[in-house]
């Protein structure tokens, strides 16, 4: 069984990550979820735990589960890392090697393929800094999925919404060779 590590960062599109987990598990993919602290403000870890049947990790330094160094062991066990939604903040951390939370630390330890699924306000997405960070991630071999055009949380209709869940799941399955 292939193992996908789903890294969820804090944007309104977090609720769509629940559907990603559900659809992957229905395709016999083992999904482990990690979250930024901001992501937990939108959807609680309990929701992802119910869907994935795994404990969700949010704190790099929480050793109450076991004595392993989770951001290392999770990265080593993954066949693929998918960051969805990928906020401007987490993409900047990824592009510049900042490891100050569970998601960014695990990303730096990962050697598996990485899919990045941006989702944010269109002005944030089109900002020169965000575009430069996306280019860096692509140049390092990461596959970018989305964003799409649609109604944003602010009410605008523009580029910045999370790619359709089915597109993300298809990209994951294709990358896994399934």
So what's the pLDDT on residue 152?
Answer: 83
- SS3 of 15-68: the string is HHHHHHHHHHHHCCCEEEEEECCCHHHCCCHHHHHHHHCCCCECCCCCCCCCCC
Q: What is the pLDDT of residue 158?
A: 85
- Annotated catalytic, 154? yes
Counting the structural domains of the chain, the total is 1
Q: For residue 65, what pLDDT is reported?
A: 64
pLDDT at 76: 87
What are the angstrom distances between the C-alpha of 99 and each of 78, 86, 92, 108, 143?
18, 15, 11, 7, 20
Which range of residues forms the domain containing residue 34? 3-176
Selecting among 18, 82, 117, 154, the annotated active-site residue is: 154
Q: What is the pTM of this model?
A: 0.94
pLDDT along the chain (178 residues), means of 10: 96 96 97 96 96 90 67 89 98 96 94 97 96 98 94 86 97 94
pLDDT of 67 reads: 57
Residue 80's CATH number: 3.40.50.1950
């Amino acid at each position: 069984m292939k193992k996908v590590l789903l890294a969820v960062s804090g944007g309104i599109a977090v609720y769509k990550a629940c559907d990603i987990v559900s659809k992957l598990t229905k395709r016999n993919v083992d999904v482990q979820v990690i979250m930024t602290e901001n992501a937990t403000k939108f959807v609680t870890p309990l929701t992802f735990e119910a869907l994935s049947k795994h404990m969700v990790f949010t704190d790099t330094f929480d050793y109450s589960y076991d004595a392993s160094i989770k951001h290392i062991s999770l990265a080593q066990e993954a066949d693929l890392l998918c960051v969805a939604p990928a906020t401007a903040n987490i993409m900047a951390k990824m592009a510049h090697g900042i490891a100050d939370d569970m998601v960014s630390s695990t990303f730096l330890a990962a050697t598996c393929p990485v899919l990045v699924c941006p989702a944010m306000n269109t002005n944030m997405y089109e900002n020169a800094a965000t575009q430069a960070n996306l280019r860096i991630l692509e140049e390092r071999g990461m596959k970018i999925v989305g964003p799409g055009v649609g109604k944003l949380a602010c009410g605008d209709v523009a580029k910045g919404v999370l790619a359709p869940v089915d597109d993300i799941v298809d990209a994951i399955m294709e990358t896994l060779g399934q």
